[in-house]
Structure 1
Amino acid sequence: MTAAHALPVALLLPGQGSQHRRMAAGLYGHEPVFTEAMDEFFAAAGAEGGPMRDDWLAELPVTDMDHVTRSQPLLFAVDHALGRLVLSRGVRPAALLGHSIGELAGAALAGVFDPRDAAGLVLDRIRRLAAAPPGGMLAVAASTQEVAPYLSGDVVVGAVNAPRQTVLAGPDAPLDAIGRALREAGFVCRRVPSLSAFHSPVLEPACRGAAERFAAVRRGRPAVPVHSAYTAAPLTESDIDDPRFWARQPVAPVLFWPALEGLLATGDHLLVEVGPGQGLSQLARRHPAVRRGSSAVVSLLPARPGPPEADRAAWEAALERIAAAGHPVGGGSDGRGRPQWSAATG
């Protein structure tokens, strides 16, 4: 298959729940573009960057990787750095779709935010959210309609990941009680790795004032369409220009499946997950376009944590699959790992 007839590439950037110890660390020091992008993030984080980097690379982190001060910034940094790495090999995405903090990483990758500004916004976010009440998230193998009768108090639908994959979010005690009731009713549930009730009203007070921080940074037009998992549509100028849109993302529900349906309604794509694990890849494989073989999925990293060699092997295998799908891979950066978007994606 030639590049002219290849499926257009869409990058999928995962969010909260995908983090794990040493995620993508096998590429650090091995892939220069990835390494540079991670180092730029740690430098932008100032005094917090060193401890963040140490915990990321540690076998036994000092701070729990599921804590907001580690999961959120490191997911952003890894997603963005992997995206930079893919672009540096000459792959030219036709679209980006991020889940939770992955949307901010995608926006930075597409040029909506300068990466250093985005790093500052992420750090501001985690400082606010670290002061929020504790809570959690619960994945349920059920539709939103099926879980609705069980919801109470501050527990809400935090994410719609697939037709029968709903994530609930809220304070720990009521979330645990609802989980027990759902299991007794025969539903399969599992806790999402998170120590915060992302995408629920619990975080509303912590997000107050964040809009002013977003208003203070320049926001540009994306070089490639960014499909928002908060509106289930491509970002509009109104979305980009509204600081409240960005500030409320930790509170607003994630509509990943509707956003994926909107993306694939524009045509079939090669969906490339650029982030730790293969959570979004597993969800995307449930889509009818992927099941019938007209769209396809590629994951850059292993499904589970492993040795550094596993990260490198998965990356090389993903490059081979992307090349086999008709996308030449090779160079493509400006020498510093900066993406060079082609006119076709602008």
Structure 2
Amino acid sequence: MGEPTRPVVLLFPGQGAQYPGMAVELYGVEPVFTAAMDEFFALMGEEGRRLRADWLSDAPAVPLDDASRAQPLLFAVGHALGRTLLARGLRPAALIGHSVGELAAACLAGVFDLAGAARLMAARSAAMATVVPGGMLAAGVAADDLEARIGERYRAAGVAVAAINAPRHTIVAGPQPWLSELAADLARENVITRPVAALQPFHCPAVSAAAERFAAGFAGVPLAPPRVPIRSTATGRAVSPAEAVNPEFWAGQLARPVRFWAALSGLLAEGGHTLVEAGPGRTLTMFARRHPSLRSGHSNAFAPLPSTPDGTLAAWEAAMAELDQLVTEGV
């Protein structure tokens, strides 16, 4: 790939973007992707062998939407895709990660190495195993509107706005049965919701204790300032050197809301960019295309993988050819 006319930003999706067979067609075909996946699985030990088996299986032993599967596999696929794009000569100007995607961005940027990442993914899974059953709902309303509708009864149960992905795309998370009851209340108010693919809540008070347990997993993992700027979806601004080496900054995002729209808007305010989704599907590029910078053509978004496993390899090969044209010609 040549030098881009527009700065390239890699987007790393989080929980909800996973699907059976995600990126599997690249495994054994793309050498860098395959090596990165195998390295991660090996570093995860016996759990890595189980992760690999469930990733490649049509009938996984553990549901893919469970945090113990979705989280490490989304990390692994995002990191491996990022490594593959770098090996092809792509030089991102910045990285943005959504939830666990932010950890994939941090690893790719050198905040911690892959051995450290494997330890952190194991610690994150162990922490989430202590969380009560719950989930997340996507609602087609503004965050302030949804916040006003939650009410004290649900807040007391740990339900909260978990992500602000676009002006009228908000995620609410919490334990069951409260989350289902809230969905019914919202339906009576003509607010349409749909479940996010998750068996546990994220980014809400219900996981505060899990975030503290996750922080303990950083013990012994060396941290360094990022070599590539990371626009944090926890704060909406660039990760500072002090934040990068603070375990509580990374662990705390497990319980804090994801502010993807704020992070994206702050970056696009600096000028036009080419956004490339380094993960399964097109979740983040779908949100990004609602931004004025993309609607006007000032920036563009690109997703190399489809939202289903069918035709992954063909889509990837076509995407690589198109992406080379996009970044060199600034189309």
Normalising by structure 1, we get a TM-score of 0.91
Displaced runs of 4 or more, over 3 A = 2-5
CA contact under 8 A between 1:68 and 1:126: conserved in structure 2?
yes
* 1:320 corresponds to: 321
SS in 1 for 2:198: coil
Q: Deviations over 1:131-172 (max 9, x none)?
A: 211110000000012112221231100000000000000012
**In the TM superposition, what is the alpha-carbon distance from 1:200 to its structure 2 partner?**
1.0
**In the TM superposition, what is the alpha-carbon distance from 1:119 to its structure 2 partner?**
1.3
Q: Deviations over 1:242-272 (max 9, x none)?
A: 2111111211110000000011112110000
Distance 1:326 1:245, change over 3 A: closer
Distance 1:166 1:32, change over 3 A: same
Which amino acid counterpart does residue 282 of structure 2 have in structure 1?
Q
1:114-129 to 2 correspondences below 5 Å: 114-129=113-128
The answer to whether 1:179 aligns with 2:183 is: yes
Which amino acid counterpart does residue 318 of structure 2 have in structure 1?
A
* 1:68 corresponds to: 67
**In the TM superposition, what is the alpha-carbon distance from 1:218 to its structure 2 partner?**
1.1
CA contact under 8 A between 2:306 and 2:315: conserved in structure 1?
yes
Distance (whole Å) between structure 2 residues aligned to residue 105 and residue 149 of structure 1: 33
CA contact under 8 A between 1:227 and 1:235: conserved in structure 2?
yes
**In the TM superposition, what is the alpha-carbon distance from 1:206 to its structure 2 partner?**
2.2
Moved more, 219-228 or 318-327: 318-327
SS in 2 for 1:147: helix
**In the TM superposition, what is the alpha-carbon distance from 1:19 to its structure 2 partner?**
0.7
**In the TM superposition, what is the alpha-carbon distance from 1:4 to its structure 2 partner?**
5.5
1:193-342 to 2 correspondences below 5 Å: 193-306=197-310, 310-327=311-328
Q: Deviations over 1:76-115 (max 9, x none)?
A: 0000000000011001110100000000000000111111
Distance (whole Å) between structure 1 residues aligned to residue 141 and residue 92 of structure 2: 32
* 2:88 corresponds to: 89
Which amino acid counterpart does residue 138 of structure 1 have in structure 2?
L
Distance (whole Å) between structure 1 residues aligned to residue 304 and residue 2 of structure 2: 20
Which amino acid counterpart does residue 196 of structure 2 have in structure 1?
V
Distance (whole Å) between structure 2 residues aligned to residue 187 and residue 227 of structure 1: 31
CA contact under 8 A between 2:143 and 2:170: conserved in structure 1?
yes
Q: Deviations over 1:267-311 (max 9, x none)?
A: 1100000101111010011010000111011101002232xxx11
Distance (whole Å) between structure 1 residues aligned to residue 196 and residue 42 of structure 2: 30
Q: Which runs of 5+ in 1 are unaligned?
A: 329-346
Normalising by structure 2, we get a TM-score of 0.95
